[in-house]
Amino acid sequence: MNIGIVSDEISQNPEHAFKVAKRLGATHIEIRDVRGKNVCLLSDAEILELRSLASKLGLQISNIDSYAFKVYIHDEAGIDWSLSTLERAIEITKLLDLNFTRVFTFWWHGGLAKNLERITEILSRALDLASSEGITLAVENEYSCMVGTGKETRKLLEAVNSRWLKVLWDPGNAFFAREEPYPEGYEQVRDAIVHVHLKDAVVENGAFKFKPIGSGAIDYLGQLRSLGQSFRGVLSLETHYTPPGGNKEDGTVESFNGLLNILSKLRAV
């Protein structure tokens, strides 16, 4: 499997983040925030510098992450900002010779059923921008947004009905959205996944808590086994876990080792 890491889950310093990712054994790096700025705010020269750094270390950039459509659905200024941000994300995606970029589905406000028509309308405008440049939009299921579960993601795919809209599947986000990520949520979207984020979690004393991969409630043994049978994209670690007394890098290292442990069990079968 192609294993990646979201760089700022290690450090905002890309050189340090990339080196740690390589040392751990990742093949890919995903770029979201760099030195306190989202990747879409970087210049072309800065983007090419990141690509050069990755290449020197033997890493490939899997994708870049904007925050397009992480706004309220009735925020017209926010929608305009998202469309502008998406245009820049598409430019960067093409500059890096990649073929998809991430989008969201607006902060949760009233639920998907109430807002599906409006979401479809706005995403159709976004898809016009992307498809004209040959770029696919990968919608991430995000528990704080209108589309958080696999079931909701399927409803969106059917409503939009475009080959240019695919899925960035996040089992951890589905769990936070109160869905069983595998197999329930995964079965809804498995045919449309172009990228995967990996994080684990549990409910402790009534509250959701992030955990290292393999230490939470998500069936990652089953999830990774199924992905290994048909998925050929990148599994990207976005752990969100910080151990007691540690930092984000410590959490990523612990989660990466947990991921390797699960993969070793799959190989042994």
CATH architecture of 2-268: Alpha-Beta Barrel (3.20)
In this prediction, residue 268 carries a pLDDT of 87
In this prediction, residue 73 carries a pLDDT of 98
Indicate the pTM of the whole model.
Answer: 0.97
Task: Kindly state the average pLDDT of the residues 153-172.
Answer: 98
Which residues neighbour 118 within 8 Å (Cβ) at sequence distance 6 or greater?
73
- Cβ atoms of 254 and 216 closer than 8 Å: no
pLDDT surpassing 90 at residue 114 = yes
- Please work out, in degrees rounded to the nearest 5, the angle formed at the alpha carbon of residue 93 by the alpha carbons of 224 and 199: 30
Percent of the chain with pLDDT over 70: 100
In this prediction, residue 221 carries a pLDDT of 98
Instruction: In whole angstroms, give the CA distance from residue 192 to residue 167.
Output: 6
pLDDT surpassing 90 at residue 269 = no
Strand partners, 30: 6, 63
The predicted-structure confidence for 66-95, as pLDDT tens digits, reads as follows: 999 999 999 999 999 999 999 999 999 999
In this prediction, residue 33 carries a pLDDT of 98
Task: Kindly state the average pLDDT of the residues 23-40.
Answer: 98
- Cβ atoms of 69 and 82 closer than 8 Å: yes
In this prediction, residue 108 carries a pLDDT of 98
- Cβ atoms of 180 and 173 closer than 8 Å: no
Beta strands in 32-108 (DSSP E): 33-34, 37-38, 60-64, 100-103
The predicted-structure confidence for 95-113, as pLDDT tens digits, reads as follows: 999 999 999 999 999 999 9
* Six-digit token string for 146: 């209108």
Mean pLDDT of the chain: 98
In this prediction, residue 116 carries a pLDDT of 98
In this prediction, residue 81 carries a pLDDT of 98
Instruction: In whole angstroms, give the CA distance from residue 147 to residue 142.
Output: 6
In this prediction, residue 75 carries a pLDDT of 98
- Please work out, in degrees rounded to the nearest 5, the angle formed at the alpha carbon of residue 122 by the alpha carbons of 118 and 123: 115
Task: Kindly state the average pLDDT of the residues 119-131.
Answer: 98
| DSSP per-residue codes, 226-239 | HHHHH--SEEEE--
In this prediction, residue 204 carries a pLDDT of 96
